[in-house]
Amino acid sequence: MRQGPVVLLGCGRLGSAMVEGWLLTGSVDPAELIILTPSTKPAAERARVLGARINPPADELAGARCLVLAVKPAMWRAASEPVVGALAKDTAIVSVMAGVRAGDLSAGFQGRPIARVMPTTAVAWGQGVAAIHAEDPQARTLAHGLFQPLADIVDLDDEDLMDAATAVAGSGPAYLHAFTQALAKAAQDVGLPPETALTLARGAARSAAASARGEGTLESLIGQVASPGGTTEAGLKALNAGGQLDRAVADAVRAALNRARDLSA
């Protein structure tokens, strides 16, 4: 596999999360990291202190083993145009953008090998999840090397499933935060002070996340908390009365999936 620096194009929320994860795990040597960003970002500045190069001259991109594309989907062509000609012909392109198809990326990057990755922002703490699709074996291996230390990896042979992965894992953390917010509001409604309500709701979410990393099915994890005839079981029955929780989650995933498909159109 080609050796050389990793180039990150775009350092917004997800790009910054990847930088933080690489620095935390040591999986990308800062001295082998090039960050291209139009504005100052705290994560990029931390990487710079450790030896990363920020917005170097284009000729320093020629030796890159891969370019990680982390810009907004609507901007990728304009953002990529200045750097395409500076990359070697065998530099792999690793896209973390929702909805942009591998075929379009291959055309835009003049036939270079493509891997698509859908990571969550928890890669910043080495606790993310990432779906990977790549037809090119070396691009797939390279993507694994970048994200395996930061996330649980799911390989998808069918690129069409990347949109579904985006709707579930990419958007899922926001759904869970929204639920936590609703839980905190409900806690206030039954008399708890706002700060106490938020602390309890956040703690419940953190406890659930910690237990989800262990062994056992989700059903068994629910059973560990919800004793038959107890308070939790009563709450769960109310939460999903008439299948309302299942329908709401299914609607959220379907809406996100449709939007991902719109972006790829």
Please check if 70 is assigned to a binding site. yes
66 marked as binding residue: no
Give the number of other Cβ atoms within 10 Å of residue 109's Cβ. 22
Q: Are 126 and 25 in contact (CB under 8 A)?
A: yes
* 13 among annotated binding-site residues: yes
Q: Annotated binding residue at 232?
A: no
* 198 is annotated as contributing to ligand binding: no
52: left (phi over 0), alpha (psi -120 to 50) or beta: beta
Q: How far apart are the first and last CA of the chain?
A: 33
9 labelled as ligand-binding?
A: yes
d(CA 146, CA 150): 8
C-alpha–C-alpha distance, residues 180 and 141, integer Å: 36
Phi, psi (5° rounding) for residue 39? -140, 160
14 is in an annotated binding site: yes
DSSP for 133-186 reads: E-SSHHHHHHHHHHHTTTEEEEE-SSTTHHHHHIIIIITHHHHHHHHHHHHHHH
CB 102 within 8 A of CB 111: no
Q: How far apart are CA 16 and CA 64, in angstroms?
A: 19
Using CA atoms of 213, 214, 216, 221 in order, give the dihedral in degrees to the nearest 10. -70
Alpha helices (H) in the chain, listed in sequence order: 13-25, 42-49, 76-84, 102-108, 137-147, 161-165, 172-189, 194-212, 218-225, 231-239, 244-264
Q: Summarize the annotated binding site for NADP(+) as residue ranges.
A: 9-14, 37, 70-73
Question: Per the annotation, where are the binding residues?
Answer: 9-14, 37, 70-73
